[in-house]
Amino acid sequence: MADSALTIEQLSFRYRTAETPAISAIDVRVDGGEVLLIAGPSGCGKSTLLRCINGLIPRSYRGELAGRVTIAGQAVADLPLSRLARLVGTVLQDPEKQIVASYVAEEVAFGPENLGWPRSQVLAAVDAALAELDITHLRGRETYRLSGGEKQKVALAGLLAMEPRLLLLDEPLASLDPLAAQHALEVIRAQADRGRSIVVVEHRVDDALSIGPERAMLMHEGRQAYLGAAAGLAAVADPLLVKLPADAALERLRERPQIEAPAPPARRAAGEPLVEIENVEFRYGDDGPPVLKGVSLTIRKGDVIALLGPNGSGKSTLVKHIVGLNRPQRGTVRVEGRDTRAATTAQLARSVGFVFQSPTHMLFAPTVREELAFGPRNLGVDPATIERTTAHALELLRLEDHLERAPLSLSFGQQKRVGIAAVLAMESRILVMDEPTAGQDYASYTRFMDEIASLDAFDALLFVTHDLDLALSYANRVLLFNDGQLAADGTPEDVLPDTALLRRCHVLPTSLLELNLQLLPQTGRMLGLRQLAAYLQQTEGGDRVLGTTPSQRYGA
């Protein structure tokens, strides 16, 4: 596939309604067999660049386009969609927007069928794609019953089944558990080794670097801030804007004169019980497999809980029981002493605010302003209080400039922030967030997690996440979930050192966890990146902890 090269020459684009270009003067080539990693904060032009490559610009998005994009020597702007679909395939950031069929096998077959392949070839392609991603067991499942991570893998399988020359992957790891993410990255590397050109846009830079991308591009305000060997990215990227391997980030941070770090989370709470879950069992449908198997736990005032575990293990199902979207088939769930079977979802919303994993499941209003006011208004909150709470939520999530925009017209990351802001505006006692940082750049999610973790408005916070670093940075309690059961419940210091247990629950140790484990005898607790950097700044022997310099590790 030597002719599968992607060439971008002096590419610029300004959206029709925008005053400034979204991207400017982009020049890059990706040959067959190469992986290009693109990193940078939200809004820097990464998704716009992908739209120019796959032809959505100028076909679906209008504006001023300059420059040239070619795939296998053919100009994208001149190709008919039928030909373009054979050359380039895209996995979107939000798989909800990509899945169209009712069953998994039908979804994976959708692309090859529309390319006019013979039935035998379609079936063989479906089998091969499912097997490569290790999701053959999902073949007959209804797509609406899949977890967010399972949907992301199915979307990737649909792309692989079409065998395009060029793969564009927009945040492919966003909803995957660490083990599934590692497997997906291995599949991506294998596709490149077979000669395909691959462009990966990813906020989880430290994970993406593990497969040795041939080159990396760092984007800032629509321009190339860096284009070169992936090993050099750690030396140029701001570690507070881009999530780098922990040791490289710490070296860069320790060079700064003073590091501002939030206070570590308070120790595990022992306050009054807010949510009591006793021996809960649940399955979807009359003949579906059990999803929850005798789960019991109590959420207390002062808890900041991270819920970790594999895709499809029941985490989202469990949190939906807390907000009344699911009702236990056996066992009991009580919220502030009230059995959820005897309460409406609206009544429970006064106690529990829930941020969905997919923002499209909760956004519907014509403007961001109306979206944030809807919940408090329906709870009978007075207009003055609604104005105050919505203004605070807008400021906290950096949404003031989007007040009159339609929520569903925003980017995936912005939609996530609108969903969180809508719940913040309701001022519920307990905040539950399902994958709050998926699709968010590192700077955005650390900012709002800093603020949310310090808010006095919530008596307890629970977040479902695949980000182990997020858990050790903000939680005072970690729940490990596996196969519908609670595998561990304790402080980060109690649970996270058991790396064998973590791996059984598809949680892979990160570079930040490994550094924390080295320092735990001295620190006595898990520390986030900035907290750890501040500690090392003040501690002799920091170099002995990190071992080597960034240039020795990354060749920068």
SS3 182: helix
Query: Tokens at residue 433, please?
Result: 């967030």
Provide the pLDDT for residue 544.
47
> Which pair of tokens denotes residue 108?
């994976």
Q: Would you identify the CATH topology of the domain 262-351+460-466+473-492?
A: Rossmann fold (3.40.50)
310-363 pLDDT per residue, tens: 988 899 899 999 999 999 999 999 999 999 999 988 889 889 988 887 777 788
Asked if residue 405 has pLDDT above 70, the reply is yes
Q: Of all helices (H) and strands (E), which one includes residue 111?
A: helix 104-114
Give mean pLDDT, residues 164-180: 87
One fold for both 6-95+165-221 and 262-351+460-466+473-492? yes
Q: How far is CA 459 from CA 68, 357, 379, 417, in A?
A: 54, 22, 19, 21
Q: Is it the case that residue 269 has pLDDT exceeding 70?
A: no
pLDDT tens digits for range 498-551: 999 999 999 999 999 999 999 999 999 999 999 998 888 777 544 445 444 333
Superfamily grouping for domain 6-95+165-221: P-loop containing nucleotide triphosphate hydrolases (3.40.50.300)
If one counts every other C-beta atom within 10 angstroms of the C-beta of residue 483, the result is: 15
Q: What number is the average pLDDT over the span 60-79?
A: 91
CA–CA gap between residue 184 and residue 44 (Å, rounded) = 25
Helix, strand, coil % in the chain, rounded to nearest 5: 40, 20, 35
Q: What is the CA radius of gyration of the chain?
A: 23
Q: Quick: pLDDT tens for 188-197.
A: 999 999 999 9
Tokens of 395: 């400021």
CB atoms within 10 A of CB 382: 10
Binned at pLDDT 50, 70 and 90, residue 449 comes out as confident
What are the pLDDT digits (tens) for 107-160? 999 999 988 899 999 999 999 999 998 899 999 999 988 887 888 889 999 999
Q: What is the mean pLDDT of the chain?
A: 88
Could you tell me the pLDDT band of residue 262, with boundaries at 50, 70 and 90? confident
How do the domains of the chain map onto residue ranges?
6-95+165-221, 262-351+460-466+473-492
First to last CA, the chain: 31
DSSP secondary structure letters along 238-305:
-TTTS---HHHHHHHHHTSS----PPPPPPPP---EEEEEEEEEEESSSSSPEEEEEEEEEEETT-EE
pTM above 0.85, yes or no: no
Q: How much is the pLDDT for 26?
A: 96
Q: What is the pLDDT of residue 540?
A: 55
pLDDT number for residue 347 = 86
Q: Cα angle vertex 308, ends 304, 313, to 5°?
A: 135
389 Cα distance to chain centroid: 26
Phi, then psi, of 443 in degrees rounded to 5: -65, -40
DSSP 404: T
DSSP labels for 429-492?
SEEEEESTTTT--HHHHHHHHHHHHH-SS-SEEEEE-S-HHHHHHH-SEEEEEETTEEEEEE-H
